[in-house]
Structure 1
């Protein structure tokens, strides 16, 4: 009989001696993780791309160091994909057909990664016609069946079907052991049923068709209910839900095919015996030669001869644990509380860096690590004016430090908050590194392209450091990664994410700084508690990154993060630092005028009421309107007070003068307090520039929010609003440019809903509201009257927000029946819109989320509420979210491209503000015309190449001395 490699592999496991512990590295996953996690890197000598190779080497070396010990492997192998075509393509020619080619700069790195694996002494295997997953399955089954153990070094969900007795997975990024409970957490079923769930849900990444419209939750429920896939398909006629029943019957063969595509082959020809995979030290000369050739000098110094000592890091647990209690299936929309095995935060392990020698050691270690947590501590909330108290670095769990720079003793007691010297002068000075010296040492690390800086809400830290001449790059932002993964499910602040994913409550700021009048600046916090607080921020941020970042690849959201989020913090930080100039004298005059007008309105209100009252008191207003004046339509709140909100007053103002006067007074009061007075206070006294702060993860749709001050809610169409915009001016010799997308949401509705009538109107450049009115009411375009156009405009804009007949009636001042007839006519003329709305509502009910055309996920938890009103709100939100979200995505893409486009054109124009669909720039007068051309071209082409819109994007741009004239 021929002694085949497979026979040899089987016999090697039955020999006397210690049981085989086979560890298998999913090499393809390592490569792509390395490529996407780190910035591009080229070999200096010839420009060869080597970033993925360097990241792969670092990951492989860490694994080799960490696997020492009793539970470490006896055998180790890296398993590669041989080629794209496998036996599955013969089964289904569209398998993986939608996968794009690897990035151009990654292709030359594939053979180098194989060379790197061999240089580190790790065996490589691959097999033509089979995927790496099939080889992993084959070797895992051989090791298990012969009484050994298998550890699969990967977090790929497709490999979870192999988990069971003596077979576990190890996620190297989260440092988490994946056993049966992790499978149930992911799929809602045990490992032996994973393939059957996958057969139903399909896989968009691999182009496995599955059952249309059946998501993970439904698939798990069906398999649990019927026991297995064959029984389910045989009894599909018993399912009560018509759509689900019809899908399972109609697509039964497709589902069975999907099962075969998802099922891993445990009987693939083993190309080499397991004995060949014995753990061995690398050849020092071969390893050194490879690292030198790649010019990985830092890694070369760390690796040495390649004989890695055991580390004190998180230990691997290869042997399966005793069976745990059954894990409850998480409800859809609930996020698991995080990995069960999380290293406890140890504040005593944190280090306070107070000498240059110590700082240099930390910088060297951080450089070696390649990925670090980074955070700043300041004495104010505004990044554009805050003083820097210190910075913190994290290299691993509990391996973090704080570098104080400007801490000082608090003012002497009994000095009324002032420090007059005397007794305080005798206090021991704090030991700190001179700030300019420390920043000079930190600058190369924070700007090092080979070291990834991980931050939480990194825009703030980027802006703080940029004011000190340091451009922090490259970076990842855990807040934004969470926002991409779970937008709409919860908040994305560090404390909430730490509780959610780490089961840890970080130190509260008030714990170290106090509250109320007793609160002190962070620079006055003693160094010990300051170190615990600051170092914990960097530590927790890095831990969160290790959990969240791999999920981007697992869930197919890497492109969303990279193209819609990752570049935004740096862009916004520059915009915030630039600020926008205001005319304080004009604002003061406006504030005075508003105050005088408010006084007149107050007097007018008193005369209409027949007595003096506090026009700012809702209670007194309610008593007068509904008590003394006995107006109809009043409703009381739960507290027994009359409701006097804007909607109530607007309705009353149709027939009474007092409510209209009160509305005018409230509008002026808001403008005066929120804008004219607040802008004067917010403006920098030396530059007269206002520096707003943008929030990236505030709205579920991707829209930005603005605060301190909010510059996104200044009224556009009122005279008072325009007066405030006139106070935003350009610097001498410059102009402001306002560039605004024209009707972008209606254009996106035409594209997403595939509405031929709207597409034709946009393509022809016809006014869309006139075209809609003509389509609805049969009036020729050239005979359109303003009132008919106004009604069509109200429906156009209202329809994407789910406007009701009641709402439209109130807006157009018509009766509800007429408004309902308008909406009915609208859907009759544009049936594609109704189709889009119905399909979107069905999708959100099934999956709990919707997506934009750029792949942004928007979760809508309200859709599963017990309240009917909340579910209806969820449906309206789901209809609007893909449209508003796509508009937000487009302007984000434009903003990230804009600085480079302006520089490439040789322009000094700066982007200052974003107000939803509008961007505001400041340009020298001499280059305004050229700048407008670049701005329009960049904004109008922002969707490409990701999405080829079927309607043109149009940008209106104009230059003027102030914002109002430019708009």
Structure 2
């Protein structure tokens, strides 16, 4: 081992915000918010311990920002002016995060007037001059300017060899050297500052040059060598927008170059020698964890079991919850993560012969609980070839069984592997055995892949669905809130998994998984099974502790094989009809383009928001244009609809052009390409975790967003047809959300109307306006649904085309006539603010961590969603229960040949012989009508409308 010193500098500020967004809000026993502190503690602990064990660093320090202002604000007053203040519940956690760092006996460095990046740069420069190597733990693009920087005095005999700088991105578990920086920016690290100065940075409010993006900035530096050279060359460039921007923006670019430059000569607050990394003394850490009630972490210190995983076994505790009601520790009644060894990919076995496979099968039978994962040649389960199967029976006890490896060339040498048919025959009894539980991550995919090899995978559990039923919405906007295996592994196990691109590459260099060398393929595939097994041990016990058993066992888990079966069934589409529609749409689009160009007086790219905005607001002078941060006008649908209301013919034409272009690309063209050549049907993929409320979502292709109320949408639905001799049957819940609202809000007039089979919108019109005609019924219908979505006075005014005061009067009158709805809204919001989540009648939780946000838009958005979530979620639960019961009921009635093909919101679509329509309709209507029973007894009937026809459209 080398005696060379190696300094690690941790960008602590990035850790703080990552921790804040990864975990739900929680408080310590004194009621202080500590969610970010907990996450930061686990992340730092894991990093320090792993680096120490790896004998990588000799020294380590955490660098933090002292304050929001720095010397750059003296240079440019608006520097970072656009940054919003930190979240209110994060501010009191900043000093606790400093305490956490010191609890590890690690240096915590911060300086007034300097940013963390400048302190890091100064230490990096000083360390390399002393001959030390430096690793910056961050993925910050500004710090990439330092990568590759080596000591200037390499030849000094006192420090032979000098020192150099690289980075470590712990999110991706990736080292960043000069080559990686060049791949990202297109220039070496020492030129990154020039690129940044040209492109600017909206986050830090660095101006750059308006209109110069990353690609243009990179190209300029590549061509001219530096920022100064590129700016000097501008006067001699050909006349162009770029030339004008460079000439006009020179001063801003030069200012930006100063702002992005890192200060490398700041005084060092603490000697580097004091950063030596030693074993973490336990007592300061124990004191800190005890103070803040981090009991599961405390147990690990006292037991000497090493660093904690990064779990989420934390009960969310709201700041406004009474202290008496707050849990005594953040973990509350969550189940702790079982002690497990760290993931060791070298322990995995590659199964290449029958004897080894039989041995693993025997071990799997003995384990009675295994994780299963399939590797395939493509993402489409209906078209992909099976490349291999991985199994796990315990932590690090995992194997990979290659089945389709070797080059695509028929003459390519193929590695030793059990023949596919033989392996399938051996595995089939295990994978179908009722005595062995099979756990998967998105196991629906594996069910469909294996079904094509005549394996009916059962019984099953799904870690993705488990996570969704426990934590739906707990983290928003995809920041640590997803349910993919990589995210769950990071969040719950503290382990960064291998990524598909790491083994298969990306872009033109990408290879199929079947061409990956077996050692790498084994590490990747077996890790998937191993991690899935570990996640199951963590997530499954939480169901009972967090009241998630009912929704998982009675609604979602039974649905997994049902949805898988629907995906395999697919639905037939008339290719010729779609082709005719595509041609018709092309002709209409061309005609609209001609009309739009004539109105505009010139040709332009209609699909370009920038060009369209310039035509509408600069050339034609329409009012209402607003520019975004990019400097271009918004031309979204709302803007165009406002212009259309102002009698702007071009706006109507553009709206129609957009609709036709979208329908053509998304449906009439895409559906033809999506027809499976083996089945001649289109097979959508349903996600059980795609919508927070529990609704299924459809992708590849999306069959849930075809417009139903337009002639064009109906033409597309008419292309969905049955096989010869069959018909399509559509069974649709009638006004189910309003019926559930009447029950859940206890609204007697609405319940009475539903009991009598009255027109609910007419009844509402009578209650609100005293008269029923086409206009009042239409308004009542809009109000009925809008209220359930928590609409504001301005939102309702926009929908009805009235003034805000008139809309408010309608809302007030609605609540006066139906006070139960208002009570429901108030009660729901109070409960969500108290508990952090809403609940359906079947116990499905949807979390709303931003319900108390100080940001008005965030808070009101959460409030609107929280009002509707229990109703829409209960609706989703009911149709899921109907789907799970449907095929057993049809089979019992002698109608097992009826196919359930699609689920679209409140509708189920079936294919069946016309002669069976009457018998099947009776069963379908009964199952859908009774779907809530016996778990929930509703005060209103669930009405089901059934239609049949020679196409999906005809069935409505």
Q: TM-score normalised to the size of structure 2?
A: 0.66
Partner residue of 1:647 out of 638, 656, 665: 638
Q: What SS does the corresponding residue of 1:861 show, helix, strand or coil?
A: coil
Give deviations 1:893-946, integer Å, cap 9, x for gaps: 011111111111111111000101011000111111111111111111100000
The residue number in structure 2 matching 1:43 is: none
Which structure 2 residues correspond to residues 226-625 of structure 1 after superposition, within 5 A? 329=330, 339=337, 341-409=339-407, 419=409, 425=411, 428-489=413-474, 490-625=481-616
The residue number in structure 2 matching 1:925 is: 914
CA distance in 1, matches of 2:840, 2:789: 16
The residue number in structure 1 matching 2:950 is: 961
The residue number in structure 1 matching 2:216 is: none
The residue number in structure 2 matching 1:139 is: none
Q: 1:168 to 1:670 in 2, by over 3 A?
A: closer
Q: 5+ residue gaps in structure 2?
A: 1-293, 475-480
The residue number in structure 1 matching 2:925 is: 936
Deviation at 1:797, TM superposition (A): 1.0
CA distance in 1, matches of 2:598, 2:941: 55
The residue number in structure 2 matching 1:737 is: 729
Deviation at 1:864, TM superposition (A): 3.1
Deviation at 1:177, TM superposition (A): 8.9
Deviation at 1:409, TM superposition (A): 2.4
Q: What SS does the corresponding residue of 2:850 show, helix, strand or coil?
A: helix
Q: What is the total number of aligned residue pairs between the two structures?
A: 654
Runs of 4+ with deviation above 6 angstroms? 167-170, 175-185, 215-220, 335-338
CA distance in 1, matches of 2:295, 2:950: 70
Q: CA RMSD in A?
A: 2.9
The residue number in structure 1 matching 2:781 is: 793
Which structure 2 residues correspond to residues 60-139 of structure 1 after superposition, within 5 A? none
Contact 1:936 1:955 in 2 (8 A): yes
CA distance in 2, matches of 1:736, 1:965: 8
CA distance in 1, matches of 2:335, 2:488: 10
Contact 2:405 2:414 in 1 (8 A): no
Partner residue of 1:763 out of 752, 755, 762: 755
Deviation at 1:959, TM superposition (A): 1.1
The residue number in structure 2 matching 1:835 is: 823
CA distance in 2, matches of 1:360, 1:561: 34
Which structure 2 residues correspond to residues 145-164 of structure 1 after superposition, within 5 A? none
Q: 1:184 to 1:777 in 2, by over 3 A?
A: closer
Contact 1:480 1:697 in 2 (8 A): yes
Q: 1:660 to 1:503 in 2, by over 3 A?
A: same
Deviation at 1:568, TM superposition (A): 1.6
Partner residue of 2:768 out of 776, 781, 784: 776
Contact 2:334 2:545 in 1 (8 A): no
Q: What SS does the corresponding residue of 1:706 show, helix, strand or coil?
A: strand
The residue number in structure 2 matching 1:31 is: none
Which structure 2 residues correspond to residues 7-22 of structure 1 after superposition, within 5 A? none
Contact 2:613 2:633 in 1 (8 A): yes
Q: 1:184 to 1:621 in 2, by over 3 A?
A: closer
Contact 1:176 1:341 in 2 (8 A): no
Partner residue of 1:887 out of 864, 875, 882: 875
Give deviations 1:684-711, integer Å, cap 9, x for gaps: 2354310000011011100111110000
Deviation at 1:559, TM superposition (A): 1.6
Q: 1:555 to 1:873 in 2, by over 3 A?
A: same
CA distance in 2, matches of 1:181, 1:710: 37
Give deviations 1:554-578, integer Å, cap 9, x for gaps: 2222121111111122111111111
The residue number in structure 1 matching 2:681 is: 689
Q: 1:186 to 1:789 in 2, by over 3 A?
A: closer
CA distance in 2, matches of 1:393, 1:182: 24
CA distance in 2, matches of 1:726, 1:846: 48
CA distance in 2, matches of 1:549, 1:760: 43
Deviation at 1:642, TM superposition (A): 0.3
Contact 1:337 1:503 in 2 (8 A): no
The residue number in structure 1 matching 2:848 is: 860
Partner residue of 1:221 out of 311, 323, 334: 323
Which structure 2 residues correspond to residues 664-703 of structure 1 after superposition, within 5 A? 664-703=656-695
Q: 1:429 to 1:817 in 2, by over 3 A?
A: closer
Q: What SS does the corresponding residue of 1:957 show, helix, strand or coil?
A: strand
The residue number in structure 1 matching 2:620 is: 629
Q: 1:220 to 1:529 in 2, by over 3 A?
A: farther
Deviation at 1:834, TM superposition (A): 0.7
Q: 1:217 to 1:436 in 2, by over 3 A?
A: farther
Deviation at 1:184, TM superposition (A): 13
Moved more, 786-795 or 921-930: 921-930
Deviation at 1:341, TM superposition (A): 4.4
Give deviations 1:146-172, integer Å, cap 9, x for gaps: xxxxxxxxxxxxxxxxx999x9999xx
Contact 2:900 2:909 in 1 (8 A): yes
Partner residue of 2:796 out of 794, 799, 808: 808
CA distance in 2, matches of 1:611, 1:433: 66
CA distance in 1, matches of 2:308, 2:494: 21
The residue number in structure 2 matching 1:909 is: 898
CA distance in 2, matches of 1:545, 1:217: 31
Give deviations 1:314-349, integer Å, cap 9, x for gaps: xxxxxxxxxxxxx9x58x9xx999749442111110
Q: 1:711 to 1:181 in 2, by over 3 A?
A: closer
Q: What SS does the corresponding residue of 1:357 show, helix, strand or coil?
A: helix
1:663 aligns with 2:652: no
CA distance in 2, matches of 1:632, 1:698: 39
CA distance in 1, matches of 2:854, 2:796: 27
Deviation at 1:183, TM superposition (A): 14
Contact 2:318 2:836 in 1 (8 A): no
Q: 5+ residue gaps in structure 1?
A: 1-162, 189-214, 229-326, 411-418
1:950 aligns with 2:939: yes
Give deviations 1:420-455, integer Å, cap 9, x for gaps: x7xxx4x64310101111101100000100100010
Q: 1:614 to 1:224 in 2, by over 3 A?
A: closer
Contact 1:164 1:179 in 2 (8 A): no
Contact 2:747 2:818 in 1 (8 A): yes
The residue number in structure 1 matching 2:884 is: 896
Q: What SS does the corresponding residue of 2:838 show, helix, strand or coil?
A: strand
